Amino acid sequence: MIDNKNLLKLLRTELQKMNNGDKIRFLTYKKDRSILVEKDGDTFTIIENGYRQMVWENLTKAEVLKRMKKLQKIEFPRSNKLYLSKQK
Domains of the chain listed by start with CATH number: 2-87 (3.90.70.20)
Tell me what the mean pLDDT of segment 6-25 comes to: 95
Tell me what the mean pLDDT of segment 1-17 comes to: 94
Q: What is the pLDDT of residue 88?
A: 84
DSSP code string of 7-62: HHHHHHHHHHHPPTT-EEEEE-TTSS-EEEEEEETTEEEEEEESSSEEEEEEE-HH
Q: What is the pLDDT of residue 69?
A: 95
**Tens of pLDDT, residues 31-82:** 999 999 999 999 999 999 998 999 999 999 999 999 999 999 999 999 999 9
Confidence of residue 19 (pLDDT cuts 50, 70, 90): very high
